[in-house]
Amino acid sequence: DGGITQSPKYLFRKEGQNVTLSCEQNLNHDAMYWYRQDPGQGLRLIYYSQIVNDFQKGDIAEGYSVSREKKESFPLTVTSAQKNPTAFYLCASSIVGANYGYTFGSGTRLTVV
């Protein structure tokens, strides 16, 4: 089955720690995206990548970092510089082209304890 997998489903972080959220896809999609979702605020774009070894900042990139070393993988690191990291994080992938939508992962819920 082709799809996009996010892990872990739930993640707890202590203050001052960096954590990395995993996103893997076997859809052969060139583009991958990370979104943050907070209650009542919709989806906010953190980073996106349309090709291996290249990525661009989205609307709320501060306190986050990404890498795109392989086509299949787009991990997101939430650094200690992110002051309010508790949120639901969604990864998506797509074929590059205007008439293609996104395929989403099932999300990771990050909680700072």
Partner 1 sequence: AQSVAQPEDQVNVAEGNPLTVKCTYSVSGNPYLFWYVQYPNRGLQFLLKYITGDNLVKGSYGFEAEFNKSQTSFHLKKPSALVSDSALYFCAVREYNQGGKLIFGQGTELSVKP
List of residues contacting partner 1 (CB under 8 A): 6, 33, 40-43, 45, 48, 50, 58, 88, 90, 92, 96-99, 101-107, 109
Compare residues 16 and 97 and give the one whose CB is closer to partner 1.
97
Q: Whole-number minimum distance, CB 47 to partner 1, in Å?
A: 11
Q: What is the DSSP secondary-structure string of the chain?
A: ---EEEE-SEEEE-TT--EEEEEEE-S--SEEEEEEE-TTS-EEEEEEEEETTEEEE-TT-TTEEE--SBTTB--EEE-TT-S---EEEEEEEE-SSTT---EE---EEEEE-
Compare residues 2 and 97 and give the one whose CB is closer to partner 1.
97
Contacts of 61 by beta carbon, 8 Å cutoff, 6+ apart: 46, 47
Q: Whole-number minimum distance, CB 19 to partner 1, in Å?
A: 19
Compare residues 49 and 82 and give the one whose CB is closer to partner 1.
49
Q: Whole-number minimum distance, CB 78 to partner 1, in Å?
A: 18
Q: Whole-number minimum distance, CB 28 to partner 1, in Å?
A: 16
